[in-house]
Amino acid sequence: KNQVEQSPQSLIILEGKNCTLQCNYTVSPFSNLRWYKQDTGRGPVSLTIMTFSENTKSNGRYTATLDADTKQSSLHITASQLSDSASYICVVSGGSSNTGKLIFGQGTTLQVKP
């Protein structure tokens, strides 16, 4: 069964600290992996997208890694800000590159406190 599992379910950190969110998947065949940020009351917004051959991609203070062998990904947030408080969703695209279906994780809720 194609699944995407994220951990932790929720996380509280102090402003300025770093954190790492984890994603494990069992989707096969694999097309790409995406990380989305979803603010409360808003739709998800893409942070990064990585294909099989990419093992790291950065977007500002966000750095995603991918290990396609172990089917694991992480999202590292550096020097957190209050505006980073949101839900972070790991999404894996399975199937062919033309018709890949997105399988969403349940998300990690991050709260950054001053």
Question: What is the binding site for another protein (CB under 8 A)?
Answer: 4, 31-32, 41-46, 49, 51, 89, 91, 93, 95-102, 104-107, 109
Shortest distance, position 17 Cβ to another protein, whole Å: 24
Q: What is the DSSP string of 45-105?
A: EEEEEEETT--EEEETTEEEEEETTTTEEEEEE-S--GGG-EEEEEEEEES-TTTPEEEE-
- 81: tokens are 């800000």
Nearer to another protein among residue 26 and residue 95 (C-beta): 95
Question: Residue 84 phi/psi, 5° resolution?
Answer: -80, -10
Shortest distance, position 38 Cβ to another protein, whole Å: 8
Nearer to another protein among residue 35 and residue 112 (C-beta): 35
Shortest distance, position 67 Cβ to another protein, whole Å: 20
Nearer to another protein among residue 41 and residue 114 (C-beta): 41
Nearer to another protein among residue 55 and residue 96 (C-beta): 96
**Which of these, 84, 103, 4, 82, lies nearest to 38 by C-alpha position?**
84
Shortest distance, position 79 Cβ to another protein, whole Å: 26
Residue 8 CB neighbours (<10 A): 12
